[in-house]
Amino acid sequence: MGQEAFSLEGKTALITGGGTGIGLGIAKEFINAKAKVIITGRREDVLKNACEALGENAYYVVADLSLLDTIPALVTDIESEFGSINILVNNAGIHLKKWAQETTDEEFLKIIQTNLLSVFALTREVAKGMLERKSGSIILISSMAGLFGIDRVSAYGTSKTALIGLMNNLVTEYSRDNVRINCIAPGWINSDMFLNAINQDQERKQKITNRIALPDFGKPEDIGNAAVYLSSQAGRYVTGVVLPVDGGATVNF
């Protein structure tokens, strides 16, 4: 097939939380692969700036995915305006760094609502068209915290582990109609938010650095390239996979 196997030309991708960080890195690589990209988020100014940076073929829709009852209409509106969604990347999520004993029920539920329930609701709605067309790629963005235990992220880690379970079960239902679903588990990826957080906790920074096998933190584009592969013809026989993009952190001691 050659390089054309990695092309997303003619495909429309919806990327949640696509205005910053990993979501923006995925959007950049999808644009480079010639996809039409729609990014969502809650802050219009951030989305508008991201689309200006992404250039032609990038569009945005303001949405709060934690409002589950709005999701069916959101998907209908997006497909009415931009056409069928061929690729869905569930990237949007929120974080909570807190000891388990200090985490309230309300805080835990908020994480689950955004990081798991909204992902399921959006996936279900987008999959309706994919299943009818018998074609589609869905990517869930999990985390290192979904693969092994990390202190002070019990709610977040649980939500990211649950995404892997969701993937496993949807594979059994979606595969017969050629809709593939995979997880990417990013490692520690360079972003302003990440660097600000770890620079305030040198002990944790050293622990993270020791865990990574490769010499440096990852880049958002590293996650984007993995997403391009999983969504392209090159990945046509790949489904039900959890792909760590982590510099070897899951196996390094």
Residues noted as catalytic = 156
Amino acid at 66: S
Token output for 141: 């963005």
Sheet-wide strand order for 242-245: 58-62, 36-41, 12-16, 87-90, 136-141, 179-186, 242-245
CA-wise closest residue to 3 among 25, 31, 33? 33
For 163-167, which contacts have Cβ atoms below 8 Å and span 24 or more sequence positions? 163/90, 163/115, 163/116, 163/119, 164/140, 164/242, 166/116, 166/119, 166/120, 166/123, 166/140, 167/140, 167/240, 167/242
For 169-174, which contacts have Cβ atoms below 8 Å and span 24 or more sequence positions? 170/123, 170/127, 170/138, 171/239, 171/240, 174/127, 174/130, 174/131, 174/136, 174/138, 174/239
Answer positive or negative: Cα dihedral of 131, 133, 137, 142.
negative
